[in-house]
Structure 1
Amino acid sequence: MSDELLVVRAQLGNRSALEELVARWQRPVWSYVRRMLDAERADDVAQEAWVAVVRALPRLREPDRFAPWLFTIVRRAALNRLRGQYADRHDLVGDFESDLDRSDDGARDPVDGLADRAEMVARLARLPVLEREVLVLHYLEDLSVQDCAQICGVPAGTIKSRLNRARRMLREHVQEEGERT
Structure 2
Amino acid sequence: MGLAGRKITSYPEEPSSALELMMKEYGNDLLRTAYFYLGDRHLAEDVAQEAFLRAYRGWPNFRGESSVKTWLMTITIRLCRDRLGLKSRLEEPYDPVLLKSSNYASAEEETMQRLNRTTILRHMMKLPAQYHEVLYLYYYLELSTKEISQLTHSPEGTVRTRLHRARELLGQYLQEEGWHR
Deviation of 1:163 after TM superposition, in Å, equals 0.7
Report the CA distance shift for 1:64/1:135 in structure 2 as closer, same or farther (over 3 A).
Answer: closer
Task: Find the aligned partners of 1:162 and 1:174 in 2 and give their Cα distance.
Answer: 18
- The AA in structure 1 aligned to 2:118 is A
* Inter-CA distance 165–51: structure 2 relative to 1 (3 Å threshold): same
1:4 CA drift (Å) = 4.5
Alignment of 1:47-126 (within 5 A): 47-62=49-64, 65-85=67-87, 95-97=93-95, 109-126=109-126
Task: Please tell me whether the aligned partners of residues 15 and 59 of structure 2 are also in contact (alpha carbons under 8 angstroms).
Answer: no
2:23 aligned with 1:22: yes
Query: Hey, what does 2:137 align to over in structure 1?
Result: 137
Does the 8 Å CA contact 1:131/1:165 hold for their aligned counterparts?
Answer: yes
Provide the C-alpha distance between the structure 2 equivalents of 1:14 and 1:50, rounded to a whole number of angstroms. 11
Q: CA 1:14/1:176 → structure 2, altered by over 3 Å: closer, same or farther?
A: closer
CA distance in 1, matches of 2:137, 2:44: 16
Q: Deviations over 1:95-129 (max 9, x none)?
A: 13259xxxxxx9x9323212212322321221222
Partners of 2:53 and 2:15 in 1: how far apart? 17
Shift of residue 18 of structure 1?
A: 2.8
Q: TM-score, normalised by structure 1?
A: 0.78
Q: Give 1:73's aligned amino acid.
A: I
2:161 aligned residue? 161
Separation in 2, partners of 1:48, 1:18? 12
Deviates more, 1:148-157 or 1:63-72: 63-72
Q: Structure 1: how far apart are the matches of 2:111 and 2:158?
A: 37
Alpha-carbon deviations, 1:19-62, whole Å to 9, x = none? 12222211111111111111232111111211111111111111
Cα displacement string for residues 127-163 of structure 1 (whole angstroms, at most 9, x for unaligned residues): 2222111111110001100000000111101111111
Q: Which amino acid aligns with 2:110?
A: P
Where 2:86 maps in the other structure, the secondary structure is: helix
Asked if the contact 2:47–2:80 (Cα under 8 Å) also holds between the matched residues in 1, the reply is yes
Letter in 2 for 1:95: P
The CA RMSD measured in Å over matched residues stands at 2.8
| 1:36 counterpart letter in structure 2 | Y
- Return the letter of the residue paired with 2:156: A
Is contact 2:19-2:55 (8 Å) kept? no
In the alignment, the residues of structure 2 paired with residue 14 and residue 54 of structure 1 have an alpha-carbon distance, to the nearest angstrom, of 6
* Corresponding letter in the other structure for 1:168: E
- For structure 2, the residue ranges without an aligned partner over 5 or more in a row are 100-104
The equivalent of 1:150 in structure 2 is 150
Aligned residues: percent identity? 29
Higher relative contact order (CA 8 A, sep 6+): 1
- After TM superposition, the score normalised by the length of structure 2 is 0.78
In structure 1, the gaps of 5 or more residues are 100-105
What is the aligned length? 164
1:51 corresponds to which letter in structure 2? L
